[in-house]
Amino acid sequence: MNGEGTAADAAGAADGLWRSVDDLWTWLEAASPVGGREGLLLRMLKLSEEVGEVAEAVIGAVGQNPRKGVTHTWDDVRAELCDVALTALVALRTLTPDARGTFESHVAGVARRSLGPPASGSDA
């Protein structure tokens, strides 16, 4: 094995990600003490909290606060970034049942604007 995954592996991983997003959204909807518009706004604000935790981890990883010194690792930063990404996907799911389609379409648009159109034709 050469360490490269197949397209089926990637699709399976993506399916698992979006299943987890849906499961977390379902759990949050059932467990949330605040609903309606206020609950929606709080779900969006959760992103700011998570981004703040990334900042705290970066500051801690470089020891920027002389009173505290080094309090975090770059593994902590990576974990906090994952929390931001997951929180954003769950927030997106809160706004649309087709979070996956919305996200994939947006990523394709950003890639087109940034990288140009995909190469036409394939020799394979």
Report the distance separating Cα 70 and Cα 62, nearest Å: 6
Q: Domain map of the chain by residue range?
A: 46-113
- C-beta contacts of 25-33 below 8 A and 24+ residues apart: 25/90, 25/93, 25/94, 28/90
Cα separation values, 91 from 28, 32, 47, Å: 10, 13, 8
Closest to 43 measured CA to CA, from 57, 55, 33: 33
The span from the CA of 47 to the CA of 30, in Å, is 20
The answer to whether residues 105 and 98 touch, using CB atoms and an 8 Å cutoff, is no
Residues 24-60 have pLDDT tens digits of 999 999 999 999 999 999 999 999 999 999 999 999 9
Give the chain's mean pLDDT: 92
Q: Can you tell me which residue has the tokens 């990600």?
A: 17
- Give the predicted TM-score (pTM) of the model: 0.84
Q: What is the pLDDT of residues 59-68, one digit of tens each?
A: 999 999 999 9
In the chain, alpha helices (H): 7-31, 36-62, 74-95, 99-115
